[in-house]
Amino acid sequence: METTAQGGGMLFWLLLMGVMFIVLIFMPARSQKKREQELAAKVNALQKGDQVIIPGGIIGTVAGFKDNALEVKLAENVKITVLKTAIVGLVNDLQAANREGGAK
């Protein structure tokens, strides 16, 4: 009788560990997907004059739109074309995050 009780306890712990493993794998993926969707919505709502962050931490101002791309003004007479998918963030979001972090 003791071996059956011990085996049942082992099965419980294995199932518990399996559930915990699944939760730890899928929960971060869901939150990352949500952040990506929020950024995509913000990028699609961009207007001329909005400031964006592109890879490498470069900050520029939206100067125009093309099919899947934006024309970003980096300095006077310096414009580059970047894909919408290359936008890392918006300067307004960065400033809001800094204010929240400084208030704590």
pLDDT along the chain (104 residues), means of 10: 60 91 85 88 90 92 91 93 91 69 57
Structure tokens at 40: 């995509």
What is the extent of the structural domain holding 100? 46-104
- Please report the sign of the dihedral spanned by the C-alpha atoms of residue 34, residue 90, residue 50, residue 85: negative
Residue 26 Rama label (left phi>0; alpha psi -120 to 50; beta): alpha
> Do 20 and 4 sit in the same domain of this protein?
yes
Residue 49 Rama label (left phi>0; alpha psi -120 to 50; beta): left
Residue type (1 letter), 50: D
> Do 16 and 4 sit in the same domain of this protein?
yes
> Do 59 and 96 sit in the same domain of this protein?
yes
3-state SS, residue 54: strand
> Do 36 and 74 sit in the same domain of this protein?
no
pLDDT of residue 61: 93
> Do 39 and 79 sit in the same domain of this protein?
no
pLDDT of residue 103: 54
